[in-house]
Structure 1
Amino acid sequence: MPDKLSKYRSKRDAERTPEPVPDSLSSSPDGNAFVIQEHHARSLHWDLRLERDGVLVSWAVPKGLPADPGTNHLAVRTEDHPMEYLTFHGEIPQGEYGGGTMTVWDTGTYETEKWSDREVKFVLHGERADGRFVLFRTRGKNWMIHRMGAAARDPFPDVDPMLPTRRAKPPRDPAAYAFEFAWGGRRLLVPIEGGRTTAAREHPWLRALAESFGSRTAVLDGELTTLGGAEILVFYDLLYDDGHSLLAEPYTTRRAALEALGVTGGHWQTAPAWPGDFDPVRQAAREQGLPGVLAKRLDSPYEPGTSTSWLLLPS
């Protein structure tokens, strides 16, 4: 009988990696376990592993499981892994095969609907991964994974930025607004999916930001500006978060969700905001040489184009 783990063992040295390197096969109680691991290796990807005949049959999925039936994702067949990998997480040393950080993204059980050399249909029952999928082989090690059934998330918003209306005087009811600095930079919407963003084509340093999101989907709204002689991307709104559109939500909800992300780094930060407090913000904007102050209604949804819910006030 062939050794199903021979290729796995040939790529690993048990004295140099914390990964399990067992001598024999094992199985879960019901023989239908799965695990998805988030793997920050040379490039971020997710490893889908389905138990089959004593091993975990594995695919590397660069963008993670598709949430929309209209979009298929690449899945690259890799070597079978031992059952002990169901719970493996940790740091694989750099220089070793698959070097990088690995965490368990989800685990659970699955049902097999079809299994052949070219097609695998299955239903996942996990906390984060749930639903029917099909893997189908295209060429060599390359497969595609397709979600069957309804979409698991709202569609990505395809909108123009919300723009302020110029006003000479602050609103009469400042308690109904939050006040932010007007940065005077260039507007940039940043969509993030599968640890990647199309905005990195123009700004390669955004790849690190996108990768830090892991499997979390988001669309952030911000501005490219120069602070202290360095280019900084300042974020001040969140239009989409983890599969849910926030366009119809009030500013207060979107702002709380943005702050919960804790977006900060060497090239990006979350812009400060001060509800109901115009005069100190205007004074600070003057002292920093900023062009003005933005007043944003606390109850306003995100409205593409010019809106009277956002006001641009002189500093």
Structure 2
Amino acid sequence: MRADKLDTYRSKRHAARTPEPVPGPGPLPEGDDDTFVIQEHHARRLHWDFRLERGGVLVSWAVPKGLPLDPKTNHLAVPTEDHPLEYAAFEGEIAPGEYGAGLVLIWDRGRYETEKWTGREVKVVLHGSRVSGRYVLFPTGGRNWMIHRMDPPPPEPPTFLPGLRPMLPEARKRLPRDQAAYGFEFDLGGDRALVAVRDGETRLIRSDGTADGPDLGGLPKALLDLPAVLDGQIVTVGGARVYMITDILHLDGGELLDRPYRDRRRTLDHLKLNGAHWQTTPWFPGDGRSVMKVAHRRGLPAVLAKRLDSPYLPGARTASWLRVPVPPAT
């Protein structure tokens, strides 16, 4: 019997235990060989999966540093098993213990044109919302390939912070009734601040317009040198100032503002940003009463309730985010 292109894919997955599409054996769908997707994969190590539709499957490479934007720099691209075409729309959490366990989010997708496709060279033109241009993939020996940008670098994106203001919560006296629709955080009572990370440097702007804050010099390395914009509070812990991170607005050139709060927080959690001068705050989906009890015991001023489906609206004060003060002891 002729081998199915998806045999390897199926052999690595249990359909009953993974949210990924696992189609059964049979004829492969016929497409136009013009779809591509780049997925942000928070597995044991953060990487990007680059997939090109070809012959009824998605031919795939794992790219640890993402697609290069500068033609002077080639990036490693490790071939992986062919994936089903349905995977081009997949986002979700692959359970611990399963192959590829971790969060998968779509970083970009669009159409592409094939200029050349052989066993020694794959040359394509991408038309995506985040990445466009001519790229070539080629083997370098063993299993490894490289990916190279053939076009000049795209224009430098604008600096993140100018004009970007924190999203603000509305005041409420009580927790929302539909707690299952919210994620809950502790309001630590610190100074609100945004932090931009790019080219090994950090820039912090507090809500009062100043740039005074903790030492964040090691944050770029913690972010794997990926450009990012974070939201959080500056608080004092044990006499030292610490940046408590509550949200992520940009990552690796991609804007996350339109993603729901739930997905932004999951991305942030998978980055594991925990150091001496910065910490990722916990969040608790659907459990506001327990969070309020803990906040009361710790003497915190308030609890924040954020709708799981809410986008990030810079500078807006909306009912999607609520600030509920901790009631005084009786």
Q: 1:150 to 1:42 in 2, by over 3 A?
A: same
Q: Deviations over 1:198-227 (max 9, x none)?
A: xxxxxxxx3xxx27x9xx62499xxx9984
Does residue 74 (structure 1) correspond to residue 103 (structure 2)? The answer is: no
1:268 CA drift (Å): 2.1
- How far apart in 2 are the matches of 1:32 and 1:160? 38
Q: Percent same amino acid among aligned pairs?
A: 56
Shift of residue 9, structure 1, vs aligned partner? 0.8
- Aligned counterparts of 1:120 and 1:241: Cα–Cα separation in 2: 28
Which letter maps to 2:59? V
Partner of 2:132: 130
Q: How big is the shift at 1:137?
A: 0.7
* Residue of structure 1 equivalent to 2:60: 58
**1:188 match:** 217
Instruction: Call closer, same or farther: CA 1:81–1:188 in 2, change over 3 Å.
Output: same
Instruction: Give a deviation string over 1:78-121, Cα, whole Å, max 9, x none.
Output: 00111111111111111000001111111111111111112111
Letter in structure 1 aligned against 2:11:
S
Displacement over 6 Å in runs of 4+: 155-162, 261-265
Look up the match of 1:17.
18
Q: Which of residues 242, 248, 251 in structure 2 aligns to 1:232?
A: 242
**Residue identity in the other structure for 1:13:** H
Asked if the contact 2:31/2:56 (under 8 Å) is kept, the reply is no
Structure with bigger gyration radius: 1
Taking structure 1 as the reference length, what is the TM-score of the superposition? 0.56
Q: CA deviation at 1:140?
A: 2.0
State how 1:241-252 maps to structure 2 within 5 Å: none
1:8-56 CA-partner distances (Å, limit 9, x unpaired)? 1110111111111112354464231111111111111110000111110
AA matched with 2:62: A
CA deviation string 1:135-185 (max 9, x = no partner): 1111222111111111124399879999xxxxxxxxxxxxxxx664856x7
| Native 8 Å contact 2:216 2:278 kept in 1 | no
Alignment-derived partner of residue 6 in structure 1: 7
Q: Is contact 2:198-2:227 (8 Å) kept?
A: no
Q: CA offset at residue 123 of structure 1?
A: 0.5
With over 3 angstroms needed to count, the CA separation of the structure-2 counterparts of 1:68 and 1:115, relative to structure 1, is same
- Secondary structure, aligned partner of 2:148: strand
RMSD (Å), alpha carbons: 3.9
Output the CA distance in 2 between the equivalents of 1:179 and 1:151: 33
8 Å CA contact retained: 1:67, 1:153: no
Q: Is this contact kept in 2: 1:190–1:219, CA < 8 A?
A: no
List runs of 5+ in structure 2 lacking aligned partners. 158-196, 255-263, 280-330
Residue 3 to residue 73, structure 1, CA distance change in 2 (3 Å): same
Distance (Å, rounded) in 2 between the aligned partners of 1:25 and 1:75: 29
2:227 alignment partner, one of 217, 223, 231: 217
Equivalence for 2:34: 32
8 A Cα contact 1:234 1:268, kept in partner: yes
Identify if the C-alpha distance between structure 1 residues 40 and 25 changes in structure 2 by more than 3 Å, giving closer, same or farther: farther
Structure 1, residues 175-198: CA drift from partner, whole Å, max 9, x if none? Answer: xxx664856x7572754xxxxx2x
Looking at structure 2, the residues matched to 36 and 154 of structure 1 have their Cα atoms a distance apart, in angstroms, of 21
**After the TM superposition, which of the residue ranges 145-154 and 51-60 deviates more from structure 2?**
145-154
Are the aligned partners of 2:43 and 2:103 in contact in 1 as well (CA < 8 Å)? yes
AA paired with 1:63?
Answer: K
For residue 24 of structure 1, give the secondary structure of its aligned residue in structure 2. coil
Which of the residues 251, 273, 278 maps onto 1:268? 278
Q: Count matched residues.
A: 212
**C-alpha contact (below 8 Å) 1:133/1:147 kept by paired residues:** yes
Q: Does the 8 A contact of 2:201 with 2:217 survive in 1?
A: no
Structure-2 residue corresponding to 1:248? none
State whether structure 2 residue 114 is matched by structure 1 residue 85.
no
- Quote the offset at 1:234 in angstroms: 8.8
